[in-house]
């Protein structure tokens, strides 16, 4: 990068930091995009003249609200709710709701900002948004979760709609929470409409939606491997996380002939040298989805190693798929993966790799895909759910899966087109430019709004 580009980026980022103090996650996300986009804008000055990047980093609307509810002891609890409606240049706001104690404005702005580019990459007409609350569903009864969700939706319903803003699930928000929120929305608005995605398949949901993010990241990694004449067959895979994304990434990688040897949660990780088979995965799904138990119970059940308080990146592997949370994989972890001859790192979570980790991957020419590209399968299938709702029909499992595979191949092709650097593909650069260009062109067409 030239000194002039770096100077421009520094001036831009100084302004962003001043406007968004104490928001480290959001600043990190903007910095990564700015590093890719400024050189591109020098070659395409119309975007710079129209101040497109300055406008994209500012959300169109930010909503913060009180969420009071009553727990099982009859005590009143109060949480904070958010919806960041980031950009609607190419379609209604679209992005998940996260219920977790770490939720704050910085986290949701980073997620909404990333979502804008991710949704653009899918080729579907969806803008970017994100929302949620610092409410923690862990340890809560179904009645308490329902009480919270109904209170949350009693404010959120004013700001969303099938042609305005279509939320979905995220960490802490699964089928149970989506059901409770959809029921409250329907009750308040007296209409049955596709206002949320991730719905149950018997009331407007799409087949493959629960699997989509995990399947999608594996499909994307498959395309990355193909550029080197490789495939998943016979490869050892390390996965972090044990929630929805991790579960289905494990399932699909195993179907394609790989051996997945790890899974994790906030307490540590399991290392199963024999691989997580279909039978073991069924146990893991029941443990996490039904019992809401801890990963150590898997180690006890199958007599494998449990490493407390650690992440799995020191385990030797061919492919790494981080599926847990932001900034879980740091520079030292990246060096360990490189030292162990890892070929591919495909992000299943949102921004799980720190800037230091990404620098290590790129300097060693390791195939690395950012989450905005490789984990776009979830929102892509949410978009397909929206299409099915609008058409008042349901596609078969195979139809949705084929469309998902096609979308992931298309995203990979766009990343290659804009990220090719000699015989190396810089997927971060490719994803940022491809996602930016579609949104930026729409903003140019729509004037200063």
Query: Which residues are known catalytic residues?
Result: 130
Token pair recorded at residue 240: 């972090």
Return the exposure string of 75-100: e unless at least 16 CB atoms fall within 10 Å of the residue's CB, then b.
Answer: eebebebbbbbbbbbbbbbbbbbbbb
Please choose, from the candidates 379, 389, 442, the residue with its C-alpha nearest in 3D space to the C-alpha of residue 411: 379
Token pair recorded at residue 13: 């980022």
CB 87 within 8 A of CB 56: yes
Rounded to 5°, the CA angle 441-447-449 comes to 110
CB 420 within 8 A of CB 27: no
Angstrom distance (rounded) from CA 427 to CA 432: 8
Angstrom distance (rounded) from CA 45 to CA 43: 6
Between the alpha carbon of residue 378 and those of residues 191, 211, 218, 352, 405, the distances in Å are 25, 8, 12, 16, 12
CB 172 within 8 A of CB 144: no
Sign of the Cα torsion 227, 242, 24, 375 reads: positive
- The H or E element that residue 315 is part of is none
Paired with 319 in beta bridges are 237, 344
CB 347 within 8 A of CB 114: no
Token pair recorded at residue 440: 């930026």
Number of Cβ within 10 Å of residue 334's Cβ equals 27
- Residue 167: CA count within 13 A, CB half-sphere: 32
Instruction: Name the CA dihedral angle for 403, 240, 221, 417, rounded to a multiple of 10 degrees.
Output: 90
């Amino acid at each position: 990068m030239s000194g002039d580009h770096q100077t421009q980026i520094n001036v831009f980022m100084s302004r962003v930091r001043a406007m968004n103090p104490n928001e480290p996650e959001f600043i990190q996300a903007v910095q990564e995009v700015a590093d890719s986009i400024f050189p591109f804008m020098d070659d395409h000055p119309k975007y710079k003249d129209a101040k497109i990047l300055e406008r994209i980093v500012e959300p169109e609307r930010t909503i913060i609200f009180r969420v009071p509810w009553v727990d099982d002891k009859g005590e009143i609890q109060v949480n904070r709710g958010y919806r960041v409606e980031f950009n609607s240049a190419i379609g209604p706001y679209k992005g998940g709701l996260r219920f977790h104690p770490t939720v704050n404005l910085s986290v949701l702005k980073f997620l909404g900002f990333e979502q804008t580019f991710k949704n653009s990459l899918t080729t579907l007409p969806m803008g970017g948004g994100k929302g949620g609350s610092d409410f923690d569903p862990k340890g809560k009864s179904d009645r308490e979760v329902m009480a919270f969700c109904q209170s949350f939706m009693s404010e959120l319903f004013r700001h969303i709609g099938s042609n305005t803003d279509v939320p979905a699930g995220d960490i802490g928000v699964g089928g149970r929470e989506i059901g409770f929120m959809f029921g409250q929305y329907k009750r308040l608005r007296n209409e049955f409409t596709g206002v949320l995605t991730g719905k149950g398949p018997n009331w407007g949901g799409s087949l493959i939606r629960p699997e989509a993010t995990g399947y999608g990241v594996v499909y994307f990694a498959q395309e990355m491997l193909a550029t080197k004449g490789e495939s998943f067959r016979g490869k050892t895979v390390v996965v972090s996380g044990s929630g929805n994304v991790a579960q289905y990434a494990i399932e699909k990688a195993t179907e394609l002939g790989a051996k997945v040897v790890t899974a994790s949660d906030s307490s540590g990780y399991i290392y199963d040298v024999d691989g997580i088979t279909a039978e073991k995965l069924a146990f893991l799904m029941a443990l996490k989805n039904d019992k809401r138990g801890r990963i150590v119970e898997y180690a006890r059940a199958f007599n494998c190693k449990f490493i407390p308080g650690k992440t799995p990146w020191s385990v030797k592997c061919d492919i790494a798929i981080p599926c847990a949370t932001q900034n879980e994989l740091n520079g030292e972890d990246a060096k360990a993966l490189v030292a162990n001859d890892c070929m591919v790192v495909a992000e299943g979570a949102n921004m799980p790799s720190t800037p230091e980790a990404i620098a290590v991957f790129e300097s060693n020419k390791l195939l690395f895909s950012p989450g905005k590209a490789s984990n776009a399968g979830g929102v892509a299938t949410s978009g397909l759910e929206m299409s099915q709702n609008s058409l008042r029909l349901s596609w078969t499992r195979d139809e949705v899966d084929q469309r998902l595979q096609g979308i992931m191949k298309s995203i990979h092709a766009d990343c290659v087109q804009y990220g090719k650097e000699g015989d190396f593909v810089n997927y971060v650069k490719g994803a940022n430019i491809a996602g930016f260009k579609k949104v930026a062109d729409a903003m140019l067409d729509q004037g200063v709004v």
